[in-house]
Amino acid sequence: MREDHQRLDKWLWYARIVKTRTLAARLVSDGHVRVNGMRITQTAKAVGAGDILTIALPNATMVIEVVAPGNRRGPATEARELYVEHNAGNVELVRDDSKR
């Protein structure tokens, strides 16, 4: 894998999108992540700067752009520098209306 790319599951964990790497792997393998519009089920898929990720979380859908690969799972402020949110004003794009 190139230096400027990283495994998708590892990147999701470093960016603090999920709490554990196991959850990141499950999120990807269950088909809840798209990279540049393509559904990905391989946890080892390489992502790098400029890739657009669409992540379907239980209560929301995130659309983010990868800015850089991570070096470690650091504090939230450091993790936030790894991506740019494209739906920052509307994090809850998809919601479960049955709970209302």
Domain count across the chain = 1
Domain extent at residue 29:
5-99
pLDDT, position 92: 47
Confidence band, pLDDT 50/70/90 cuts, at residue 87: confident
Which residues lie closer than 8 Å to 98 by C-beta, 6 or more apart?
Answer: none
Instruction: Give the CATH number for residue 62.
Output: 3.10.290.10
- Percentage of the chain with pLDDT > 70? 86
Average pLDDT rounded to a whole number, residues 18-28: 94
Comparison of pLDDT for 100 and 31, the residue scoring more: 31
Please state the pTM of the whole predicted model.
0.83
Neighbours of 9 (CB within 10 A): 24
